[in-house]
Amino acid sequence: MSTAYERPALDVPPGAGFRLRLNETDLAIRSVDRALRVFGFSGFETQALVWLDGRLDAARLRASLARLGRRHPIVTSRLREIEGESRRFWIGGDGDECQLHETTLADSGERAVLDEAGLMLSVPRDPREHDPIRFHLLHAPDGRDVFLMQYNHTLLDNNAALLLLREIDGPPAGDDGEVRQDGQALVRAYLKRHPREKRREALQRGIQSWAQSTRGGAVMLGKPADVPARTGELRIVARSLSEAASGGLRDWSVRACGFPSLSMAVLGSAFRALDRLAPRERGPRAKFLAGIGLDLGLRGKDGPIFQNLMSLVPIHARAEELTDRTALVQQLSGQLREHLAQGVDLGMLLMTALFNRRPRYSESFVEHGLRYSYSLWYAYFGALDRLGTEFCGACIDNVYYTGPSWSPIGLTLLVNQYRGKLQLQATCALASVSQSLAEEFLQLVAEDLEAG
């Protein structure tokens, strides 16, 4: 049984209530979000799922969400374009209450939760009409709850999502209830800190890097020529590695590339799985390609910042580089370090700023990039243990993320750690990648990682 809610769109006159301007990166992600909904998919949305060992304190959760809406009025705002201005803003009144959507599931177990999460992720939510962050409580018949937070990346990046979950569970120490309205133009100030010559060189390297990476096209599970009529139906599958296997993988990663981050190790295994499953009709220069998000280091420690403080660099490999797993991970790690040394992440931010000034070119670039330039949509979130072991009075069993997907790529892989275990989640767009194929892909990735 589902207790649905729909709140009418805010109708706030320009200049009234809360107002926050989108930064350069937010605007780029707004283009992605809009393009995905034009394709018939849900938009640039991600879910954070907190799995509990029993029922949480629902009254405490509602009180926390009410406090959250008062403290951060942006979480119930709407995306608006102010008349006479070219920029877009988050607009809203102060003190709106965050809604809690409760659902009683017919079955217990992970499959029932993921099916419900997939349905939620399949529904387009335009940030001009819906809250950019939405909160769900799923009740399983066996007495356990799952708290699900779904958020639009136009407002919130993934690093801020964990801080927001921590704030929901309890306000920061010494919180005086003051309304927080973070209006700093952090990305713009970050760009201006770099000398003009450095920015010019970074822009050139960024353009060259993306041109080199995307030349020849991307190997993907979905076949671009065979995608049927647009449909946004999504499915989610999940696997986890044991604590022993996850620990062994971390040790192997240190030996292979010198540091314990598992991002390139997982990406290497994902490329190897794609090589086994993707159609063999490929161009001679087709690559395995993903975009890797990099934090700009602008985030404060007091709580979530409602801006996107990430850049993106391309990481690719050719089919002949996939045979030796250790050499592959070393190559991917070296490629990432080279991009950082050359300032490709800064160059990507500058490319974004240029495209924001020329929306017509930006839209065609975004559409082509989303549909044809990647082998899969991929993100590694690191360890989520900072959330703690309890949430609103119940013990946490697990925490992980699920993300959007769209045709023809048809596959998203999100990965994180919690309590020493590696968590793997794949979302597939059924228009181009079946659930069984996504499950086979995830199985191959897990087996390849465990082999280390």
- Domains of the chain, with CATH numbers? 8-169 (3.30.559.10), 186-383+404-450 (3.30.559.30)
Local confidence band at 15 (pLDDT 50, 70, 90 cut-offs): very low
Structure-block tokens of residue 204 = 């050139």
Is 72 within 8 Å of 98 (Cβ atoms)?
no
Sheet of 78-81: strand order equals 18-21, 88-92, 78-81
Closest of 162, 21, 174, 12 to residue 93, by C-alpha: 12
β-pairing, 133-139 vs 100-104, is parallel
Statement: residue 88 has pLDDT above 90:
no
| Spatial separation of the C-alpha atoms in residues 218 and 374, rounded to whole Å | 6
**Predicted local distance difference test score (pLDDT) of residue 5:** 43
Strands (E) in 296-376, as ranges, are: 310-317
**Predicted local distance difference test score (pLDDT) of residue 359:** 67
Q: Give the amino acid at 385.
A: D
Lowest mean pLDDT among 83-87, 105-109, 278-282: 83-87
Lowest mean pLDDT among 85-99, 139-153, 190-204, 310-324: 85-99
CA dihedral 259, 264, 270, 272 (to 10 degrees): -80
| Spatial separation of the C-alpha atoms in residues 234 and 67, rounded to whole Å | 33
Average pLDDT over the chain reads: 88
**Predicted local distance difference test score (pLDDT) of residue 173:** 56
Lowest mean pLDDT among 26-40, 290-304, 414-428: 290-304
Across the range 39-43, mean pLDDT stands at 88
Structure-block tokens of residue 394 = 């119940």
Lowest mean pLDDT among 39-43, 223-227, 306-310: 223-227
Residue 291, φ and ψ in degrees, nearest 5: -100, 130
Statement: residue 435 has pLDDT above 70:
yes
Across the range 247-273, mean pLDDT stands at 93
Statement: residue 316 has pLDDT above 50:
yes
Closest of 78, 73, 80 to residue 96, by C-alpha: 73
Query: Which residues, 6+ apart, have CB-to-CB distance to 271 below 8 Å?
Result: 288, 317, 322, 328, 375
**Predicted local distance difference test score (pLDDT) of residue 89:** 86
Closest of 277, 275, 353, 276 to residue 316, by C-alpha: 275
Q: Which string of DSSP letters, residue by residue, matches 380-398?
A: EEEE-GGG-SEETTEEEEE
CA dihedral 148, 154, 156, 159 (to 10 degrees): 100
Local confidence band at 1 (pLDDT 50, 70, 90 cut-offs): very low
Query: Which residues, 6+ apart, have CB-to-CB distance to 141 below 8 Å?
Result: 104, 105, 106, 107, 108
Residue 132 φ/ψ region, left for φ over 0, alpha for ψ in the -120 to 50 degree band, beta for the rest: alpha
Closest of 412, 363, 446 to residue 222, by C-alpha: 412
- Matching residue, tokens 């992980």: 400
**Predicted local distance difference test score (pLDDT) of residue 229:** 53
Question: What global pTM score does this model have?
Answer: 0.92
